[in-house]
Structure 1
Amino acid sequence: MEVKIGVRSVHRELVVETELTAQQVEEEIRNALAVDRGGVFSITDVKGRRVLVPVASLGFIEIGEDEARPVGFGGTL
């Protein structure tokens, strides 16, 4: 699952590839937003690295869809 995070006053978005489902990512976001202004949104990527963003700095979060990626050189769809 690909998650794009827009941070205020930063021109590039953060892109994190995670093993979480869309529902799990949304739950993490909601939990971080539920804490008064001191909340932190955190997510772990597929390599085990953790990204932490203060909730006050979040601009947007785009959650990609779970999709099966085609494997191989087959011409069938």
Structure 2
Amino acid sequence: MDIRIGIAHSPREISFESNQAPADIEKAVAGALAGSDAHLSLTDVKGTVYIVPASALSYVEIGVEEARRVGFVL
């Protein structure tokens, strides 16, 4: 699962892959945006934990992992 998080007032975004279920990620984001959580906490496939203050969230993209192609694309 590919995740991209946009941070307010920052030109860069956080991008990583996670093994968490899309429903769990969506629930965590919704909790942070609703104000019930002060921060958004997600874990990547290597075990690194990303903690972002809820007030700094601009957007969160939850995408599916694509199979990587090998060779030339015409």
Same fold (TM over 0.5): yes
Instruction: Indicate the RMSD between aligned Cα atoms, in angstroms.
Output: 2.0
- Verify the 8 A CA contact 1:3 1:62 in the aligned structure 2: yes
Please, which runs of 5 or more residues in structure 1 have no aligned partner?
A: none
- Verify the 8 A CA contact 1:3 1:17 in the aligned structure 2: yes
Asked if 1:27 corresponds to 2:33, the answer is no
Q: What is the number of equivalent residue pairs in this alignment?
A: 70
Aligned to 1:11: 11
Q: How does 1:1-77 map to 2 (within 5 A)?
A: 1-35=1-35, 39-65=38-64, 69=67
Instruction: Name the CA shift for 1:11/1:40 in 2 (closer, same or farther; >3 Å).
Output: same
- What is the deviation of 1:14? 0.4
Deviations 1:44-72 (A, max 9, x none): 000101000001000100110255x268x
- Give the number of the structure whose alpha-carbon radius of gyration is greater: 1
Q: TM-score by structure 2 length?
A: 0.80
Please, which runs of 5 or more residues in structure 2 have no aligned partner?
A: none
Percent of aligned positions that are identical:
33
Structure having the higher strand fraction is 2
Q: Give the distance between the partners of 2:2 and 2:54, measured in 1 at CA.
A: 19
